[in-house]
Amino acid sequence: MAKNLLVELGLEELPAYVVTPSEQQLGQKMAAFLKDNRLSFESIQTFSTPRRLAVRVVGLADQQTDLTEDFKGPSKKIALDAEGNFSKAAQGFVRGKGLTVDDIEFREIKGEEYVYVTKHEVGKPAKEVLVGVSEVLSALTFPVSMHWAGHSFEYIRPVHTLIVLLDDDALDLDFLDIHSGRVSRGHRFLGQETKIVSAESYEDALRQQFVIADPKERKAMIIHQIKAIESEKNVQVDIDADLLNEVLNLVEYPTAFMGSFEDKYLEIPEEVLVTSMKNHQRYFVVRDQTGRLMPNFISVRNGNEEHIENVVKGNEKVLVARLEDGEFFWREDQKLQIADLVAKLAHVTFHEKIGSLSEHMERVGVIADYLSEKAGLTVEETAAVARAAAIYKFDLLTGMVGEFDELQGIMGEKYALLAGEDVTVATAIREHYLPNAAEGDLPETKVGAVLALADKLDTLLSFFSVGLIPSGSNDPYALRRATQGIVRILDTFGWNISMDELVDNLYHLSFASLTYNHKSEVMDFICARVEKMMGKAVPKDIREAVLASSTFIVSEMLAVAETLSAASQKASYKSAVESLSRVFNLAAKADAGVAISVELFENDQEKALALAVEELVLSGTAKDKVAQLFALSPVIDAFFDNTMVMVEDQVVKNNRLAVLSALVAKAKTVAAFNLLNTK
C-alpha cells in the first residue's frame, strides 16, 4: 500500500540566496535516491523557509521492486580447469556476486561459451531502505558551509531538528548529531514547537504556528498583500522578481506594509533612492500612476499585523539614515573636480599584479582609439570616446560610489553632466559597465559600446598576461562575463571587426605598464564564449565548422551558425555539404602559390567550375552566402563526375587542385564545410 514520506530538516536561518536552490536540490536528490533504490512514487513536493528544508514524497511504494539481473563472467575455457572443475577465476566471479558455482550456467555468444549467473533480489520494505535518507541530506552541497560547537563536520548552518515520517509512523534516523523525531519549530517569535502527526498534516500544523512552509503560498500572499496596498493607496509598486524571491526567503509568515519618508529626499537622484530601498533594505519601490517616484516604500514583515505601526516606524528610521548618507554624499561630491579625481586614480590599484587604475585607463584609451577607427565612428564620436576613456573611472573615488558601489558608472554619468561634460561622454561613462550580467542590458550608443569593448578587452588581456586565467568553474575576476559582453556587443552592433585580427593587433601594442601575453589562450577563451553564444540548439559539428572559418567576425559567425542549423533540417543540405566537403578535403593537398591556367582545362565541367569560382563573390546576409555556396553543388558534382583530379600529370593535377583551393579560400570565410556531419 502506497504511503507518504515527509522529511524536514530544521536549521538556523539560511542565507536567502541559498534557500530556493537548496529546496530544489533536496527534491532532486530525494528522487534520485528513491530511483536508485527501486522505490516507486507518484510525485515529490518540496518546502522551504529560512529555517527549514523539507520534502514530501507522495504515493511511495511500501516495498522495493524485486531485482533480477544477469551477469556475464569469464569464458568457459577460463572458468574450467584441465579436470573440468571451476577455476579460481570462476569462483571469484560468483563470490563477488554473492552466489556460488552452483548458480553458474553457460551461454554461447558468437560461437564461444561464457559463464553466466542470474541474481534474484527480493525487494526490501521501504522502512529498511529509508534509513538511507540521512545520506540524501549529507549529499546536499552549498556555496558556503560552517562547523559549530566541537564538531568537525560542516554544513550550511547548524541543524536543530529532523523529522522523518512515513504516513504517521516516525522513523528513527540520525543525521550529524541530531536524532529524528516529530518536533518542528514554529515561527521564532509568534509560534512554538509543534508535533507533526503525519506527513499529510505538515503544512496545517506549521500554519497554526505562523509558518507558511510552501514558498509558492508565501509568494502568493506577498503579491496579494502588495496588490491590496496598491489598490488602497492608488499607487504602483514595482514587484521586482529577484527582490520578491529574496524577500520570500527572508520570512516565514509575511505581512506587507507601506512606510514613508520626507519629500526632501526626492531631490536626491532616483537611482540613489532606489538602491537604498531595494538593494540595501529589501524594500519595494512605490510610484504614482504616472510612474513618478513617491516618498514611500513597501516592506514585508516576518510576522503578523500585531504592532505593525511600530514596525513601520522602525523601518522608516533605518531608511532615513541611509537617505541622509545619500543626501550628504550627493551634496559633497559636487564640490569635487573630475581632473583631481582622475589624478588620484594613479594611487588606486586595479590589481596588484597589473598596476593602477590610471594605467588600465591609459591602455583602454589606446584600444578605444583603435576600435573607433575599426567601428567607423565619426570624428565627433571618436573625440567623445577619447574624452570618456580619459576620465571614465573618476566616480570610483566619490563618496556616493564608496557608500553605494552599485552606482558606479551611474553616478559617473550624473557628475559628468553636472561638470559640463558632453552628454555622449557622460552616457559612455555609464554604459561602459554594460552588460553587467550574462544577459544584462547592452550599451545603446556607439561611443558607450566602444568604451565598454576597450575596457573589457584590456581587462581580459591584462589578467591573462599575468597568468590569472580562469580554470574550471573558477573565475574570480568574472573574465567569462566580460568576454561574453565583448561577444554580445560585437554581435549587436554588427561591426565588421575580425576578432583574431583585433586581438593580434592589440598584442602588437606597447605599454610602459604591461606587455600582453598568452595570445593563444585568449583566443581559445574568446572562441569558447562565441560557441556558448551559438547555443546548444546549434549542433556541435556546425559550431566547430563556423569557429574554424577564416573570418572571425562575431556577428557573421553567429548568423552563419543559425543559418546552417536551420538548413540542416532540409533535404538539400546533405548533398550540398558533401559536395563542398569533398572540395575542402582535396584542396588540402594543393601546393600554395599555383596559378590557375585556363589552357590546362580538359572538359567543359572543369571550365564551368573555374568560372563559377572566379565569379563567386559572397555577399549579403549569412543566409545569402550559404545559399550561394550551396548553389554550386551541381557544378561541383558535375566536375567530379567528369574529372579526375589526382592524375599522374603533375601540372594538370596542381591546376585542378588550385581551382578547388580557390573555392575553399572563399567558402572558408563562411565555414569549414569539411567539418560538417551529414550522417
**Contacts (Cβ under 8 Å, ≥6 apart) of 9:** 52, 53, 54, 137, 159, 161, 162, 175
Cβ-Cβ contacts under 8 Å for 515 (sequence gap 6 or more): 465
Average confidence (pLDDT) over 284-312: 96
Whether 443 shows a pLDDT value over 80: the answer reads: yes
pTM (2 d.p.): 0.83
Beta strands 3-11 and 355-356 are unpaired
All cell numbers assigned to 312: 513601520
Q: For residue 147, what pLDDT is reported?
A: 87
Residue 451 pLDDT: 98
pLDDT band, very low/low/confident/very high, at 118 (cuts 50, 70, 90): confident
The maximal CA–CA distance of the chain, rounded, in angstroms, is 103
Choice among 117-121, 279-283, 535-539, 599-603 with the minimum mean pLDDT: 117-121
Q: What tens digit of pLDDT does each residue of 53-68 get?
A: 999 999 999 998 888 8
Whether 21 shows a pLDDT value over 80: the answer reads yes
Provide the pLDDT for residue 575: 95
The angle subtended at Cα 347 by Cα 342 and Cα 349, nearest 5°, is 105
DSSP 420: T
**Rounded Cα–Cα distance for residues 587 and 20 (Å):** 56
Q: What is the DSSP string of 74-101?
A: EEHHHHB-TTSPBPHHHHHHHHHTT--G
Pick the range with the lowest mean pLDDT from 108-122, 261-275, 588-602: 108-122
pLDDT at 323 over 80: yes
Average pLDDT, the chain: 94
Amino acid identity, position 529: R
Asked if 47 and 202 touch (Cβ cutoff 8 Å), the reply is yes
Dihedral angle computed from the Cα positions of residues 175, 178, 182 and 188, in that order, rounded to the nearest 10 degrees? -120
Asked if 656 contacts 603 with a C-beta cutoff of 8 angstroms, the reply is no
pLDDT digit string, tens, across residues 199-233: 999 999 999 999 999 999 999 999 999 999 999 99
Q: What is the mean pLDDT of residues 103-121?
A: 87
pLDDT digits (tens, 9 = 90+) for 121-172: 788 898 999 999 999 999 999 999 998 887 778 899 999 999 999 999 999 9
Q: What percent of the chain has pLDDT over 70?
A: 100
Decide the pairing of beta strands 293-302 and 159-166: unpaired
How far from chain centre, in Å, is Cα 146? 26
C-alpha to C-alpha distances, 586 to 591, 592, 652, 653, 659, nearest whole angstrom: 11, 13, 14, 11, 11
For residues 263 and 273, give the distance between their C-alpha atoms in angstroms, rounded to a whole number. 12
Average pLDDT over residues 392-400: 98
Spatial CA neighbour of 530 closest among 485, 490, 487: 487
pLDDT in tens, 471-509: 888 899 999 999 999 999 999 999 999 999 999 999 998
